[in-house]
Structure 1
Amino acid sequence: MRVLVYGAGQLAQMMYLAGAPLGIEVEAVDVSSDTVVHPVSKLPLDASLEQAIEAADALTVEFEHVPERLLEQAEKSNKLMPSMEAILVGADRVREKQLLETLQIPNCSHRIVTSLDELDACISALGDKLIIKASRDGYDGYGQWRLTSADQLEEIKQALDGLDLSAVPLVVEKMLSFERELSLIGVRSQNGDIKVYPIAENLHYQGQLHVSVAPAPKVDAALQQQAEDIFKRLADGMQYTGVLAVEMFQCGDQLLVNELAPRVHNSGHWTLTGSDTSQFENHLRAVTGLPLGDTGARSPAAMINIIGCGTFSRELLSIPGCHLHWYGKTVRDKRKMGHINLTAENYQMLGHKMQQLVAYVPGEAFPKLAEEAQKLSSWK
């Protein structure tokens, strides 16, 4: 079997590695040049995009910001999974909010803004603590502005002046007082079978994910079921095929959906060592029609992103249950260079291993590591 992935980054690379034992050949598309490349070496392959589409059993994506002309070509093949419509939901916050409202899924109170003059009404409706998001091309904290008092409104308007809000509207959300950020990774097969992983707890710094812990501590059966119900409504509502990530805020006993990612997701990287079947393998199973694999957690696991950093001691691999996943990129500020997975028998031992990891990495590049290590190591 052969799967063609639009996008040639680390997610395509990890799909390639997951597919090899299954006999699934994964190729990637560099969407900046329409070139078919090897997902690991990034070297061009001897095939045009049209030939690769014809030869593939399934087409999929590693990120949602694929040029629409390429998605339209892929959709015509009747091999694209998830569908173009589902992919565009992840690429456009307005579409995303419309889907959540249509399916009556709780999410942040918000307004869609197509003119700067409408921001005054947003304050009246939502209060003077707002998060303003570009509806497209925003990720890892980019394309976002925070308003913490009405006095900042004119300054925010000046920062946004010149944007074509009729073409790319803003999504203005009420700033929530939430307890923590969570995510649920699930997978739906072509015939509608659904499996979900345990909820993960995510720690962000400057808009980027730095640490995920799964299963998230202090999640009872009711909260996990609430997340699974949300996933099922979304996946069935979109007639979805593949892995879907649902990012959420926990506010007391309620989960509010923050964002959707129609693909394998950073907060699911822990599944590479913490579950019998990784999110990458399950995505390939789903799009090629194979039975879905087990999504249970073997034990507590942590995923620590390596961001903008290439200097750390490989001696970290001496920590039992530690695995390094390096993406082979040129180091750049705020760029995801790789990640580290840790597994342990319980949360306290996981915290101790994270404390060991602190000694091998530069603290300024891992600002959430020591804090989370301390919290987990004191777990009772």
Structure 2
Amino acid sequence: MSAMANDPLFDLHIDRTQSNSIKWNKYKGQDILPMWVADSDFRAPDAIINALHQHVDHGIFGYGSAPESLTAALIERMKHLYQWEIQPEWIVYLPGLVCGINLAVRALTTPEQAVVCPTPIYPPFKSSAKLAQRELATLPVTLDKQRWLMQLTPSHVTPASRLLLFCNPLNPGGTVYRKEELEQVLAFAEQHDLLVCSDEIHCDLLLEPGCRHTPFASLNDSAAQRSVTLIAPSKTFNIAGLGASMAIIPNPALRKAFLRTRAGIVPDVNVLAYTAAEAAYTQGEPWLEQQLAFLRGHKAKLEAAINALPYLKLHPIEATYLAWIDATALPVPSPHKFFEQAGVGLSPGADFGHPGFVRLNFACRTETLDEALRRITNAINALG
């Protein structure tokens, strides 16, 4: 299935400026295209919208708990997609994935222990350690045959290191870790006696042919017993504002610590989020396949356009709808401000740990992407 030039579903114009959108409100009233936060401009699948309508029409929004049917759908999804057989009691529902990262840091380390994470990386990885007042060590993410990979550097780990924050697919960079690469991460964790919190929220958004997601915890029992896996339908189906995420924790001791840290602080998932998540996982697959075809078309266009310009480099994006653009050769003090002045609002690389880069969200209408590329091209050409 190839992406259409004008896809009637994903090229639908929806005005988000009046919808309390963080993404679009950032530049409200300015001629700057918002292409920063990981929030697509696509209308959610009809299956999710219809399920929410039915729930709203019922008219009562009291306390709820995770439906058994949602748990069953998640178990079946893990088995079908990854041959990973999980148990119902392993699942902890959360009102967001970022709180899962923060809970893992606070539950699985003591104040005397340290956290290890890749860099550049999604900003909440580093802030979770800072907020918990944990020491943080970083493992460099570097290019390896056109792919961004975390370097397993023993010198960056100390006897105090206890938790590795891992991200697969990688944000930023879009790398999908192969099974043998995950086995190397596991060996590193075993060697240094590290627990692993694996953020796998972008696992459904695979764009490169032949790429296959493997959950870290599915490798073997050693991986399972030292891991917390964080997933969600939010990025996949554009329902992040509803807040439905899952932590999968096979080890009962780790799960008990996680739940104890959560108690009384992190609220339960709201009933509408449960409804949306179940509809996504049981009826959303045809919509997802169409979205992936559309995103693959945007990825190809973006890679070709950026790599045809001087000063910029974009390596192949294996997954996510987020382009990690190398702008280190740009003769400007701040690539982020340079593109913002050109009318394109990107995520600054400094937020991730590399100020010479910018991150572009291409989950938008084709017209928006084309205009962004036009503005970027004009700005680069004006440099001479």
For normalisation by structure 2, the TM-score amounts to 0.29
Larger RCO: 1 or 2 (CA < 8 Å, sep 6+): 2
For normalisation by structure 1, the TM-score amounts to 0.29
Higher helix proportion (structure 1 or 2):
2
